Amino acid sequence: MIVIFGASGDLTRKKLIPALYNLFKKGTLTDSIICLARKKFSTEDFIESLQLAENIGSNEIDPEFISYLTYYPTDFRKPDINLLQTVLSKEEETIFYLAVGPDLFQPIIDIIKQLGISRKKVVFEKPFGFDLGSATELNDCISKTFNEKEIYRIDHYLGKEMVQNILVFRFANSIFEQIWNRDFIEKVEITISEAAGIGRRAEYYENAGALRDMMQNHLLQLLALTAMNPPISMQADDIRDEVVKVLRKVKTLNFKVAQYESYRQEIEKPDSVTETYAALTLNIDEAKWQGVPFELKTGKKLAQRYAEINLIIKDVTCRLFSRERKIKNLPNTITLRIQPNEGIMVKFNAKIPGAGMDLQQVKMDFCHKCEFGPNTPEAYESLLYEIMEGDQTLFTRWDSVEASWKIIDPIRQQKKQLSFYQEGSEVF
């Protein structure tokens, strides 16, 4: 059984329900879905509010799936425990999905505790705290009721297909893993560029900013997957052990923060110093990566929406062509495209046809959609499936969250001058 707390919100309507529907159509989901929120809906009203045709992308919704959905209006601070106990079985394994803000975690944890369900998994959405102190306090609260094996902390980027492909690309292909170190790599660029602004999240974003909203979770997890050493196995904790080892070795070399020009007017706060763009230059204090800068960049209202990891390969030591022919060797690069147009691209130099020895940079391009078709599972579909299977590989462990905050908090505490950029700017 699946219980969604905060079922009337955008996350449930746009992400969770479409993902659950896809799992149902594949025969993976066979459980009831209990939906809880404060709004005084009947089940019929709630189903109508989900706008299934629009969010699932089909006018023909299987009525059997709709029969799985039941809605109960619930005040999480004053719940009707007796009603919930009659709806839920103590013997049945239950997934509790907290699609709510951190301020409601404690009341909902109290509800789950009172229900007395022995076999359970509890899913928490970000943000997991707003700094190390609040995250630690939150984790202490959670760990009093649940053990780490029952806790699934969502970072939806880890559910993206190309993010899951990072370890495969590295460790299943010796031609790449052999050069995945300081001897061959000049620098690593990790970028999440967003064309959209803050949308309807003004209050949240003003308190969070790009460092908390994106850098502390998504980008640092991508860095860890890019830089980690091979795990001793593909078991969840072995992989997550290596992730934590990397994060604990990260040192900040430099950073800059900026805000798009219309942000203050948009949130009606003329003195806001919240960053909508952040760029960090980090180093990993380990022999394998000594001297290799990791440049992490993210921002809103930029020119394009994309996410990628770009590895710049060092120039050849021979320099045969550039020395004898005065030809500039363009750098070899490896690019892992996370979104859109998921895939992997390798750029290298080749001879232009005809007389002479002129060079041109060319590319080998793996297009994920072209190779495997367009029906790749969305991130939330993958994550929900792994929760059902009990595989925690794609979910952040507490020590990883703790290590990430230890990187971000000192950056936030430094008073760096905020610059401004025009909407539609390129990543800078």
Please list the active-site residues: 218
**Alpha-carbon distances of 158 from 96, 129, 247, 280, 295, rounded to whole Å:** 20, 19, 16, 21, 19
How do beta strands 359-367 and 343-351 pair?
A: antiparallel
Q: Is 313 helix (H, G, I), strand (E, B) or coil?
A: strand
Q: Please list, in sequence order, all residues whose beta carbon lies within 8 angstroms of the beta carbon of residue 47, skipping any fewer than 6 positions away.
A: 66, 69, 71
Interaxial angle between packed helices 398-413 and 220-227, expressed in degrees from 0 to 180 and rounded to the nearest 10: 120
3-class DSSP state for residue 154? Answer: coil
Strand partners, 284: 250
Neighbours of 304 (CB within 10 A): 12
Residue 313 class from Cβ within 10 Å (0-12 exposed, 13-18 middle, 19+ buried)?
middle
Nearest to 290 by CA among 362, 183, 381: 183
Q: Which helix (H) or strand (E) holds 18?
A: helix 17-25
Do 340 and 164 form a contact (C-beta atoms < 8 A)? Answer: no
The helix or strand, by DSSP H or E, that contains position 277, with its residue range, turns out to be strand 277-284
Asked if residues 219 and 192 have their Cβ atoms less than 8 Å apart, the reply is yes
H or E element in which residue 278 lies: strand 277-284
Q: How far is CA 228 from the centre of its chain?
A: 17
DSSP H/E element including 295 = strand 294-299
